[in-house]
Structure 1
Amino acid sequence: MVEGKRIVGMLTDRDIAVRAAAVALGSDTPVSEIMTRDVQCCQSVEELDHALDEMGEQKVRRMPVLSKEGEMVGMLSLADIVCIDDDFRSIGRALRDICTPHGVHSQAARTRPDID
C-alpha cells in the first residue's frame, strides 16, 4: 500500500493466512488491518546479491524496489531472479535463508515433551 509516494504496507498471502483467515476475518476487512507495516525495501542501484541477502535475512520472497529518490519503481521476487540466474546459487542461498525456521512461531524452535 502506498500513500503519496511512501510505502506504508504490503499484503502477502502469509498476512492473509495469519492475520485474517486464522481469526476468521471477513472479506470486508480493510487491507490496512492485516498488511505488514514494516516493509523491507531495496534500492534499484543495489547489487542483486545484496538484495538476496536482505530477502533471506528478513524471510521475505518479495521486496519492493525504490529509486534513489525513494519512490517505488518495482517489485523484486524470487521468481524474477530464477529467470536471470543461470546457476541458481544465489536463489538457492536466499531460499534456504528464507525457509530456515526462526522466531516464536517456528515449530522447529519448540520442544515436545512426548517425543524422546
Structure 2
Amino acid sequence: MDESQLLKGILEGNVLSIISRGETYGYEILLILNKYGFKDIYEGTLYPILTRMEKKGIISCSIRKSPLGPKRKYYIITTLGEKYYEDFKKVFNDITSKTYEIINAENL
C-alpha cells in the first residue's frame, strides 16, 4: 500500500493539532511527529504544508530570535484555524469510524 497518499490527507490535521496546543516552530513539530511514529516526515515535507496553511489563513507566523542560534519562524493557530481544526476533527472521526465499521464487519 502506498502510505504517502493516505498520509497527505491527514498530515495537515496533525500539524494543526500540534500548533493548536501552543506556539511552536518547525523543528519542534517534526520532533513531535517523530515521537508519535511519523518517522518519514522531513523538513521538505513539513515546510510546504506550513506555507500552505499560512496562505489559507489557518496559522500565522512570526520570525524571532532563537535562544540557540539563528532566527526561527514561530507558528500559532488563528481563529479561522480553530474552526478549520474543529471541522477537520469532525470529518476525520466520521470517516475513520465508518472505515473501522467496514474493516471489522463480519458480514457486509
- Give TM-score, length-normalised by structure 1: 0.32
Structure with bigger gyration radius: 1
The structure showing larger relative contact order (alpha-carbon pairs under 8 Å, at least 6 residues apart) is 2
